[in-house]
Amino acid sequence: MSPKKLSPSTGYLTIYSSQCWVMHLLGPYLMLWMENVGLSFTEIGITQAVFMFTILATDFPAGGLADRYGRRLNYAVGMLLYGLGILTISLSKSFMSILAGFVFCGVGSAFMSGSFMAWFYDAAGDEKLAYKTFSKAQVLEGIMGASAGIIASTLSSILLNLPLVLSAIVAVLTFFLTILLLNENYGHGGKKNYWSLLKDGGVQILKNRVLNILIISGFFMSFVLPTFMLYWIILAQKYYGLSTEYAGGIYSILIISMTIGGVISIYLSRKTDYKTIAIVVTALWGFLFVILPLSVTLIQVILMLVLVEVLYAIRTAAMSTFENVVIPTVGRAITLSALSTIIGAFSILANTVIGVIADNYGIKALYQYVGIFAFLSALCLFLAYLWSKKYR
């Protein structure tokens, strides 16, 4: 007898928790592994650019597959492919083989990108429930991420690539959990053909002015997010003397900080409009990035990074709701994928540029440059907020 399917909110939080393990087991060790096997910052930037190019090439058509043949199935296949990519990277020591691993990860990410959120938002069918669930997800991410960080730190003391291997194993397990525990749903009730779905997604991107402004905001954020996620460990080590043996512990502190952000987000979801929250928090991110390199001690840097993580959790829940509210139910996955495709195109440029800036001007200068981009992203969100009043 097959296991009982979970409710939309419980199902989303369960699978999201497993996904958090996949991502956070990588922690700083993905970056440290690539550096350890001899890749330069520019080569690391190229791997990220290729990763995003792969998403760019496959995201939009993958979103059409999700709406046509099932969002749950699409997400599960994506998680499996992502796991295979991480396994390839974890067993590789050359630039080209690591690059191949990121291609697998890119295809997997494309299958996942629009599928899971579209599945949940339409399964839930309620804006307030969605925002509250997205906020709870940030609480869980802090807990799951911290536990993953502790385990990864222990494993890395044995072999640096073991956290990556475990991440790949959990990704395969998530594939099976998704198939077994979630009900399926489709765009357009699964009735439209594949090519019609692709056309609908493209039309929505062209005509939805709020999404157009969010795309411009995403362009600026494409410089901000990779800088924080990939280079914080290098900043702390190179300029402030953080030892590699303590990297896992610091990573766990940063991730558990997301729980604080999630709790704050749940409170704010009852008090304040999510669009206002997205604008304010993005601007605060810019402020922190600009002043972070001015820190004098390692403790100051860690406190700043904790604040960045808290704000990241708050922003994620608000932006997830913002995007879904302005996208119609029909063809939600393909529209989200189309949005990701365009942002992915920006990231090809951004990941290469931030690698070059880091190599030529240093990590501190990189943080200050992208801090300015975060301010510009917040300005775009404010414009999207004004337009959304007219749009709705």
Per-10-residue mean pLDDT of the chain, 392 residues long, equals 79 93 85 86 84 82 81 94 95 90 94 85 82 88 83 87 94 95 76 64 71 86 82 79 74 80 84 84 91 85 88 87 76 73 77 83 86 93 81 47
Who's near 379: CB < 8 A, 6+ residues apart? none
Give the pLDDT confidence score for residue 194 in this predicted structure: 64
Task: Read off the amino acid at residue 38.
Answer: G
Q: What is the pTM of this model?
A: 0.73
- The total domain count for the chain is 1
Domain ranges, residue 18: 8-183+193-391
154 within a domain of the structure (yes/no): yes
Q: Which residues, at least 6 apart from 165, have a Cβ–Cβ distance to it below 8 Å?
A: 87, 90, 91
Q: What does each C-alpha distance from 344 to 18, 113, 197, 220, 257 come to in angstroms?
A: 24, 11, 20, 12, 27
Tokens matching residue 247: 């990297």
Residue 2, domain member (yes or no): no
Quickly count: other Cβ atoms within 10 Å of residue 191's Cβ: 9
Note the pLDDT tens digit of each residue in 219-250: 898 888 888 877 877 788 877 887 766 776 77
Assigned domain for 88 exists? yes
Give the integer Cα–Cα distance in Å for 321 and 337. Answer: 16
What CATH number did the domain enclosing 362 receive?
1.20.1250.20
**Which pLDDT value is given to residue 10?**
93
In a domain, 188, yes or no: no
What is the C-alpha to C-alpha distance for residues 188 and 198, in angstroms, rounded to an integer? 12
In a domain? residue 302: yes
- Does a structural domain hold residue 377? yes
Does residue 3 fall inside a structural domain?
no
* DSSP H helices in 182-296: 194-207, 209-240, 247-271, 274-291
Q: Can you give the pLDDT at residue 391? A: 45
> In the Cβ-directed half-sphere of 222, how many Cα atoms lie within 13 Å?
25
Structural contact between residues 334 and 64, judged by C-beta atoms closer than 8 angstroms: yes
Q: Is residue 1 part of a domain?
A: no
